[in-house]
Structure 1
Amino acid sequence: MPKVKTNSSAKKRFKVTATGKITHQKSFRRHLLTKKSKKRKRAMNVDGEVHKTNLHFVKRLLRLK
């Protein structure tokens, strides 16, 4: 039986921390930044944690469960 492959797009978008949490990059940080405040841009620079309602789906894509 062949190995099960991890979803390539999920592999690029999510990271697993040492404690097992799954993080993702926050959106709206690529362009049109002049109209956004420094505070807002700084807040978007921090990785967000995957919400518990999406956790099962993301783990399945990453083959963690």
Structure 2
Amino acid sequence: MPKLKTRKAAAKRYKKTGAGNFLRHRAYKGHLLRRKSNVQKRRLSLTLTVAKGDSKPIKLMLPY
């Protein structure tokens, strides 16, 4: 069986943890930051784990 290719767009967005979960960044931190409060910007900087139902297609995109 041939080797699977990694989807590079997914590799830049998600990071795999040791337990097999995936980490992602929050949205809405790319622009229009002047009107957002410092608390909101700080919370948007945090990473969080991907939901269980969304991790299966990501696992197919990041085989290695």
TM-score tier, shorter chain, comes to 0.7 to 0.9
2:2, 2:55 → 1: CA distance?
26
Structure 1: gaps spanning 5 or more residues:
none
Partner of 1:14: 14
TM-score, scaled relative to structure 2: 0.86
Q: Could you say which residue in structure 2 is the equivalent of 1:45?
A: 45
Mapped partners of 1:13, 1:6: distance in 2: 12
Alignment length (residue pairs): 64
Q: What are structure 2's unaligned runs of at least 5 residues?
A: none
The worse-fitting range, judged by mean Cα deviation, of 10-19 and 27-36 is: 10-19
What is the CA RMSD across the aligned residues, in angstroms?
1.4
- C-alpha deviation, 1:47, in angstroms: 0.8
Shift of 1:20: 2.7
**Structure-1-length-normalised TM-score:** 0.85
Report percent identity of matched pairs.
34
Following TM superposition, by how much is the alpha carbon of 1:18 offset from its aligned partner in structure 2, in angstroms? 2.8
Distance between the aligned counterparts of 1:44 and 1:26, measured in 2?
5
